[in-house]
Structure 1
């Protein structure tokens, strides 16, 4: 990327940051000054995406902003997720990971079966059904874009599938944090596992975790949800070759795909931050160490920055989403998308309930 291209990113990034800052200020005004609550009943991340959707569809966002907004959604989001690793410890990574993997496997298998049965009834294209299936079970838009070339999906099918992930993912992102807190009675572990397995996109899971944290003062739920989702993302390495095999079964296929090109490397950054946190704790959090306060400050700054970056990415998603394009896409694929969302949510709840009975 040359210097000119780097400068082109600035307007969109600044716009996302301004909307984040405005959402933060508005949230405080609504909660403490208008409603007179000690804490706002809304969250900054929720306001950022809702305001982004409203502003992005009322005003014509110029192309000069869209480049930076796209960068914010892709890379600043990943930086925010990497920074979240500073809040976890290795034993938590192992503990939560061993709980998350069986839940993820159950959800993936269940959704694939339901979508296969539903597609026979509702009759959408084979390519569309595969894209919606992998987007719903693994990691949303990223999985769709990575899978499309290996099953020769049409551009229209890719657009429909991505619209599915956007619409239902936003719906889940805004509602599931409140549902999870109510249904699991404030249990941080169970709420985090649910958010991490029941919502499509990495950005949406992270935002749902931020909303939960902001509303119910639970950074642990944010950490668990993010970790669960990142483990889920790594299944992309297995699912894409599997889908390619199933789609082209009986055909001669010359097209090759690289596991290296589809692996979500920011997961490694997340793990690296966990290691840095724990090495730092071992070195600095000892008695009579003069650097203890400084290290704690660094950890807090990185953790707070992660939430800013995640909220900025949600503002960028809202500003970039064109509701007119989504309305043109017909209803059949959205029926499949809705059913897959509900299926993964219900299976997640059932699996979590079953798991708690086994381990207690």
Structure 2
């Protein structure tokens, strides 16, 4: 009787092999991230020298994108970007951008950004497919153009394309529109925002967050506005407004799939929300909770501890508690300022240099003019709604703040009067 010897089973993957794989992946990414960072640093130096020479502030963001695109699209169709840097450039233009967005401080204005985003996205999803039908474009292409223009650029196109079974050619044309008009908007709309909203950075940020296509492009436009005009508020509002648009992706993808007879089957709403958005909202909640804690602590000291100090000598334990609280608050403010003011702009700038290094002119070659006419019309619709929303905010916000100031003054006066009466 012949016995068959079975080969031993393969050994289970050890932690050392996992560590080696992780090291290999990180090693493959480092050259590209360093290369993108070098492009951003060089762009910042060029922008600084041009600013000094001309006396006009020049942002490093468009310089980084244009320099990266020039390196990737040299004359003769040659790319000067080393092939070894490609994996890292993809990480820089994708994951690093998301880390930068999560690290960005959250501005106010959420209550107005939500209806403004709903109006802008709704207008694009309604008008662009009808405009595409007028120009005899395929319905699926019209929906891809609507999603890319209205919601979040390439991310929306990538999510919608398999849901409606769009062809590769239709997807490529929609992406080309986002690249063309989103880049044009990123480079030009900061000047439009300044022209209309020089005295209202919140409105400028809202306009940029609604009118520019892709998330990376909005961050680039907001950072360009901040660097050129020294206005950080507009940058933060633009980021928050864009993320409000991105959240609408979860509802828009099933709806568009249903419109094409797919019924939205197989489209998971939760999967349509990028994980970095959840991280952004979590960090936002943490920031708000921290600010609220220290604000309430300060108010408690003003109302209780200060009165106690005036009436009798404060006990040593209370002094130590106050000192620890002040130290903790100082560290909190320093950390928030560093992460939001230093770390986030560096990550976003490096990511946008990676976007430029990843941009290829071949994306827009060989595409007819008709899809771009529809794309231009769609960009005008979404941008027009964004401008109208920002103009509304610019007219409403001063009145709202004046009313809030009056309420605070009245409350302070009533409190002072009550205290005087009690004494």
TM-score by length of 2: 0.77
Note the C-alpha offset of 1:48.
0.5
* Partners of 1:297 and 1:356 in 2: CA distance: 31
User: Contact between 2:57 and 2:229, CA under 8 Å: does it hold in 1?
Assistant: no
Alignment correspondent of 1:69: 89
5+ residue gaps, structure 2: 1-20, 299-321, 400-423
Q: Deviations over 1:171-221 (max 9, x none)?
A: 101111111011123311111111111111111111111111111111111
Q: How many residues align?
A: 346
User: Contact between 1:78 and 1:266, CA under 8 Å: does it hold in 2?
Assistant: yes
2:277 pairs with one of 230, 254, 267: 267
Alignment correspondent of 2:112: 99
Pairing 1:41–2:57 present: yes
Note the C-alpha offset of 1:16.
0.6
Note the C-alpha offset of 1:354.
4.1
Note the C-alpha offset of 1:9.
1.2
Pairing 1:132–2:152 present: no
* Partners of 1:352 and 1:88 in 2: CA distance: 19
- Name the SS for the 2:364 alignment partner: helix
Q: Deviations over 1:274-302 (max 9, x none)?
A: 33334444359967423454433322221
* Partners of 1:181 and 1:352 in 2: CA distance: 12
Q: How does 1:23-62 map to 2 (within 5 A)?
A: 23-32=43-52, 34-35=53-54, 37=55, 40-58=56-74, 59-60=78-79, 61-62=81-82
- Name the SS for the 2:327 alignment partner: coil
Alignment correspondent of 2:221: 208
TM-score by length of 1: 0.89
User: Contact between 2:207 and 2:389, CA under 8 Å: does it hold in 1?
Assistant: no
* Partners of 1:330 and 1:236 in 2: CA distance: 28
- Name the SS for the 2:73 alignment partner: helix
Q: Deviations over 1:227-264 (max 9, x none)?
A: 11111101001000000000116xxx695122222212
* Partners of 2:264 and 2:360 in 1: CA distance: 37
* Partners of 1:4 and 1:306 in 2: CA distance: 26
Note the C-alpha offset of 1:342.
1.2
- Name the SS for the 1:290 alignment partner: helix
Q: Which moved more, 1:347-356 or 1:296-305?
A: 347-356
Q: Which moved more, 1:332-341 or 1:113-122?
A: 113-122
RMSD across aligned positions (CA): 2.2
User: Contact between 2:203 and 2:393, CA under 8 Å: does it hold in 1?
Assistant: no
Q: How does 1:154-193 map to 2 (within 5 A)?
A: 154-193=167-206
- Name the SS for the 1:257 alignment partner: coil
Note the C-alpha offset of 1:328.
2.0
- Name the SS for the 1:327 alignment partner: coil
Q: Which moved more, 1:5-14 or 1:197-206?
A: 5-14
Note the C-alpha offset of 1:222.
1.0
* Partners of 1:122 and 1:320 in 2: CA distance: 31
Alignment correspondent of 1:16: 36
Q: 1:254 to 1:222 in 2, by over 3 A?
A: closer
Pairing 1:296–2:314 present: no
* Partners of 2:136 and 2:34 in 1: CA distance: 44
User: Contact between 1:168 and 1:341, CA under 8 Å: does it hold in 2?
Assistant: yes
| Runs of 4+ in structure 1 over 6 Å off | none
1:218 pairs with one of 227, 231, 240: 231
* Partners of 1:221 and 1:53 in 2: CA distance: 26
- Name the SS for the 1:248 alignment partner: coil
Pairing 1:82–2:95 present: no
The higher radius of gyration belongs to 2
Q: Which one scores higher on RCO, CA 8 angstroms, separation ≥ 6?
A: 1
* Partners of 1:301 and 1:355 in 2: CA distance: 30
Alignment correspondent of 1:320: 358
